[in-house]
Amino acid sequence: MEPNSSNDSSSNIINNGIKNNMVPQNQPYRTCYHFQPQQNWMNDPNGPMYYKGVYHLFYQYNPDGATFGEKMVWAHSVSYDLINWIHLNHHALQPSHHYDIHGCFSGSTTILHQHGQEQQQPFILYTGFDEKKHQVQNLAMPKNPQDPFLREWTKHPQNPIITAPIGLVEQENFRDPTTAWKGSDGKWRVIVGARDGDIGKAILYHSEDFVNWELNPNNNPFCEIDGIGMCECPDFFPVSIDGTKHGVHDYDYDSSSSVIRHVLKISYQNKQQEYYLIGMYVCDDEEEKFVAENEIRGNSLDLKLDHGEFYASKSFFDHAKKRRVIWGWVKELDTEQDDIHKGWAGLQAIPRQVWIHENGKWLMQWPIEELERLRENQVSIVGHKLVAGSTLQVSGITASQADVEVVFELPDLESAEWLDSKEVCSDKEYASKSSIIGPFGLLALASKDLTEQTAIFFTIYRTHNGFSCLMCTDLTRSSLKQDLHKTTYATIFDIDPSLKTISLRTLIDGSIIESFGEKGRVCITNRVYPLLATGKDAHLFLFNNGKHNVSISELNAWSMKRAEFLQQ
Ligand code: DQQ
C-alpha cells in the first residue's frame, strides 16, 4: 500500500472489512474535512506522532456526553495522510487506577530507539487525575509495538512516575508532559506544566531510563511567567533558521549549530490562547537553561500561534516528510445546551506545518499540503479591481465547504490612515468602518442578502515605526442566532514599506473558519453558527470598505470534498 495515498489507504481499509460509520448528515455545523469524532465532547490533541507508516492522533474525549467529563479518556485515531481517518473504537487510555481514576489528562508520545537504533518503541507520558484529585505523571507502553495501529496500551507498574514537587507548584495544577528529548549527556528530559498562584511554570525533569525521573533544583523552574495562571500543554521544540521549511527532530539536532533555535509554547490558561517564546536552549556540562529572546507580557506584542480560538496545541516531528506539524483544539462558541442538542462539541484545526521565519522572529504556519487533495471545482479571478465600497460574489464553489486563496494588490501605502490604536482595539464594528486602505477581504458563510456574514479582512495603517496591517475576523454579524459568543478577533503586525501585495488563505467548513494571513505569518481561527448561510445557502464574497480601490491580483477558490472518517 502507498502510505500517503488517501484513496489507496481507505479502499484497503474497507476491503479489510471495516465499516464506514454513518456520520449524521443533516447537521449544518458538523464539518466535512476537519477532524472530529462521531459524537460527544473532544478537546486537546494528545501525543500526535508518525509511527510505522501511520499517523496517530490521540485526543481528550468524554465517552459519556457532549460536555467535559468526569472521566476523560485518550481516544485514538489513525491515518495515512493526516486528512482521512480511522477512529479506533478502543480508547488508548481510560481511568482505571488510583493514579488516574478521575481522568487521563493531556500528554505526549516519545519514540525511543531501543537496542542500538534498530527497534523503535513509542511511550506515552500523560497526566493522571488521581484519587486525591492531585495531578501526577504516568507512563504507558503499547502492548504490541509491531501493530502499526498501536491499538492497546499498558500502564507502567511504577506509576505514578512523577508527582508534584511540593513547595514549587500546586499539586492539583501539575500536568501535560511534553514530548521528551535527549540532552548532550544522553539523559532524557521532559517538561511538565504547572501553576503556583498566578505564576505559570514549566518544570524540567531528567531520566536515564525513561521510568525514574529527577528534578534538578539548579535548572528549575525551567521557565516561569507571572500573571498567566496555569501553564497548560507546554510544547518545546527545535526549529532551524536556515531559510527552509524543514522541521528539526526533537532530539536529533546539533544544539551548538548557529541556525538552531528553540520554541517554548505555552497554553496561557487565563487567556485561553497559545503564546510562544523563541530562544536559545543551552544544555552543556555546566548549565541547562532556555534563554528567550521575546517576552510574554499580555499585550499586543506577544507572539501567539493563533489569534482566534485555537488552544492546547501539540506539535510533532513528521520524519516521513521532514516537517514539524502542529495540531490545535478549536472549541465551540455556542452554548452548552446547543452542544447537548448537537450531540458533540469540539474540533481539531487542520494540521499545520510550522517553521520559523528566516528572520528568526516569528513562526510561520500553513495547512499541510495533503489538504489540497480534497480540492475540486476551482474558480479563479485574475486582475480584478475591487472598487471602494464594493462587493463581488465568488460563484461556482460550495461556499460552506471551501478553500480560498487570494492575493490583494495594495495601493500606495503612503496614503494609509494613521493608527489610533485605542480606537482599533475597542471598536467591534471594524468591517463596516471605512478606513483609507481597507478594510478589504472576504465575507465567508454569508447569506445572499449579507444579513449574515463573517468578515475576514485587512486594514493598512501608518504608524510611528512605518506601516502596520490589522487583520481581523469579525463575528458580530456571523449569525442571526442569539446566545452566541460573537466578537471580533484582531491582531496587528508591522509590514515592510515596500510591500506591494498581501495574501489571505481561508478554510471554510460548516462552522469553522481558519484564516492564514500574509503566507502564514498570522492565523485566526473561529467558530460560526449561521442560521441562513448554511449548506447551499452559504455564499462567499470579496469586499472593500476602504476609500481606496484595491486590486485582486489573483484569487483561486475550490469546493472541498468530504474527508473519510471510518470507524474500527
Ligand atoms: N485540558 C486537559 C488538561 C489540559 C487542559 C484536560 C487544556 O490536561 O491542561 O482535558 O485544555
Q: Which of 16-20, 88-92, 225-229, 376-380 is the least confident region?
A: 16-20
* Ligand 1 and 309: CB distance under 6 A: no
For position 420, what pLDDT does the model report?
73
Which ligand 1 atom lies nearest to the CA of residue 232?
9
Q: How high is the pLDDT of residue 77?
A: 98
Cα–ligand 1 centroid distance for 158 (angstroms):
23
DSSP code for 306? -
The pLDDT, as a whole number, for residue 523 is: 98
Residue pair 521/493 in contact by the 8 Å Cβ criterion: yes
Give the cell for residue 444: 465567508
Residue type, 233: C
Q: What is the pLDDT of residues 89-106, one digit of tens each?
A: 999 999 999 999 999 999
Q: With pLDDT > 70 as the criterion, what percentage of the chain qualifies? A: 93
Q: Per-residue confidence at 252, pLDDT binned at 50, 70, 90?
A: confident
Domains and their CATH numbers in the chain: 6-367 (2.115.10.20), 374-560 (2.60.120.560)
Q: Which atom of ligand 1 is nearest to the CA of 267?
A: 7
Mean pLDDT for the stretch of residues 13-21: 35
Amino acid identity, residue 533?
A
CA distance 541 to 448: 10
- CA-nearest residue for atom 7, ligand 1, is 312
**CB of 526 sitting under 6 A from ligand 1:** no
Separation of 378 CA from ligand 1 center, angstroms?
39
Q: With a 6 A CB cut-off, is 44 part of the ligand 1 pocket?
A: yes
CA distance 460 to 23: 43
> Which atom of ligand 1 sits closest to the CA of residue 176?
8
Q: Assess whether the C-beta atom of 445 lies below 6 angstroms from ligand 1.
A: no
CB of residue 288 inside a 6 A radius of ligand 1: no
What are the residues whose beta carbons fall under 8 Å from the beta carbon of 76, sequence distance 6 or more?
A: 56, 57, 58, 87, 88, 90, 91, 92, 150, 151
Residue 506: strand pairing partners? 404, 515
In which band, very low, low, confident or very high, does the pLDDT at 254 lie, cut at 50, 70 and 90? confident
Question: At 10, which helix (H) or strand (E)?
Answer: helix 6-15
Looking at residue 167, the DSSP 8-state letter turns out to be T
Question: In whole angstroms, what is the distance from residue 316 CA to residue 318 CA?
Answer: 6
410: its cell numbers: 495594495
Do 460 and 468 touch, CB atoms closer than 8 A?
yes
Average pLDDT over residues 123-140: 98
Cα 232 to ligand 1 centroid, rounded to whole Å: 7
pLDDT for 276 beyond 90: yes
Pocket test for ligand 1, best of 68, 124, 176 (most atoms within 8 A of CB): 176
Pocket test for ligand 1, best of 72, 91, 100, 105 (most atoms within 8 A of CB): 105
77 CB within 6 A, ligand 1: no
Centre of ligand 1 from the C-alpha of residue 205, in Å: 20
Report whether residue 137 contacts ligand 1, using a CB cutoff of 6 Å: no
Q: Does position 567 have pLDDT exceeding 60, yes or no?
A: yes
| Positions marked active-site | 44
Residues 6+ apart with CB under 8 A from 27: 342
Residue 9 has what pLDDT? 35
Residues with Cβ within 8 Å of 516's Cβ and at least 6 positions away in sequence, in order, are 365, 366, 367, 504, 505, 506, 522, 523
Residue 437 DSSP SS3: strand
Find, among 391, 408, 390, 360, the residue nearest to 517 by Cα: 408
pLDDT tens track for 64-92: 999 999 999 999 999 999 999 999 999 99
| 437-446 residue pLDDT tens | 999 999 999 9
Q: What is the pLDDT of residue 113?
A: 83
What is the CA angle 527-469-552, rounded to 5? 80
Any ligand 1 atom below 6 A from CB of 175: yes
